[in-house]
Amino acid sequence: MPKLRQGSYFPGFLEPRRTSEKALVVVIQEAWVGGVSTRRVDELVQAMELSGISKSTVSKLCVRHGSRTDGDPWLTIDERVGEFLNRQLTGDWPYLWLDATYLKVRQGGRIVSVAAIIAVAVNTDGRREIIGLGTGPSEAETFWTEFLRGLKARGLSGVKLVTSDAHTGLKAAIARVFEATWQRCRVHWIRNALAHVPRGQHTVVAAAIRQAFSQPDREQAGATWRHVADQVRARAQSSRRSWTRASTTSWPTWPSPRSTARSCIQRTRSSA
């Protein structure tokens, strides 16, 4: 075999052993995100017939403090998440969903509850994507307004319909930032409606409510809606009044854009 006095035959555009190193980093980062302790990560690395890994190395790979130095072959979790959350949005996104939940986090040595919010949108091609995530002390109007303005600054445009729960601060922020129709999330509303129904009837009533949303037009949906309310009126006097009020916000855009919905479902299934 011919040999070179200097250099090698290894192609310059390839990096030796970089693929395996990156794969190991991904495994360590996923274990860290899943809540695996650094000791268990060390055991995992040793099970892969390696010498092990220290706690400081795990921290460096997952949450590096300070600026990233030149020549690093990978990004930390914070850097990868930052790139995802700050990416530019192109094109029109006519349909936007907003939701929030509360999580327990450690701040200053104390366990506190924070609001974690998420924004999901569908573009004109019918593709659904997570376009924003954020955390804050509560779901106040100012927090939602800042979050939504951040989405617009990244390129979110063409929003025609925004779906969310009926949180007062969120509704006010949507009206302030977007010139779009607001629609109440049916999942949240069904949960609220079932609070007026005996627990033993939840399954039957929920199925009947879903029939109203599957009707081809507003008239048939309203008739189905009133029929369900009449069925439970005897046991829950407040249910019909609350359902009647909700009917004006649960489907203001009837009929729904079925072609876009089908395209969204097809794209989601194909990318799963």
Residues in the chain: 272
Identify the band that residue 65 occupies on the pLDDT scale cut at 50, 70 and 90: very low
Mean of pLDDT values over 98-111: 87
pLDDT value, residue 39: 76
In angstroms, the CA 28 to CA 244 distance is: 53
Structural tokens at position 147: 């979050």
pLDDT value, residue 161: 92
Mean of pLDDT values over 79-96: 90
Average pLDDT, the chain: 76
- Provide the 10 A C-beta neighbour count for residue 217: 9
The residue that leads in pLDDT, 230 or 111, is: 111
Mean of pLDDT values over 85-107: 91
195 sits in which H/E element: none
Q: Give yes or no for residue 38 having a pLDDT over 90.
A: no
pTM: 0.67
Q: Give yes or no for residue 43 having a pLDDT over 60.
A: yes
Q: Give yes or no for residue 123 having a pLDDT over 60.
A: yes
Yes or no: say if 209 and 187 are a contact pair by the CB < 8 Å rule. Answer: no
Alpha helix (H) residue ranges in the chain: 18-33, 38-47, 55-62, 77-85, 141-153, 168-177, 186-194, 202-213, 218-233, 237-250, 258-271
Q: Give yes or no for residue 217 having a pLDDT over 50.
A: yes
Structural tokens at position 64: 């590096």
Yes or no: say if 215 and 234 are a contact pair by the CB < 8 Å rule. Answer: no
In angstroms, the CA 74 to CA 80 distance is: 9
Amino acid found at 104: K
Cα 272 to Cα 87, 212, 265, 267, distances in angstroms: 22, 29, 11, 9
Q: Give me the residues paired with residue 120 across strands.
A: 97, 130
Cα 228 to Cα 20, 127, 177, 216, distances in angstroms: 60, 34, 36, 17
HSE (CB half, 13 Å, CA atoms) of 93? Answer: 22
Task: Determine phi and psi for 193, rounding to 5 degrees.
Answer: -65, -35
Identify the band that residue 233 occupies on the pLDDT scale cut at 50, 70 and 90: low
Yes or no: say if 115 and 140 are a contact pair by the CB < 8 Å rule. Answer: no
pLDDT value, residue 160: 93
User: Which position has the token pair 């009133």?
Assistant: 226
Q: Give yes or no for residue 214 having a pLDDT over 90.
A: no
Q: pLDDT for 124-177, tens place per residue?
A: 988 999 999 999 888 899 999 999 999 999 999 999 999 998 889 999 999 999
pLDDT value, residue 190: 82
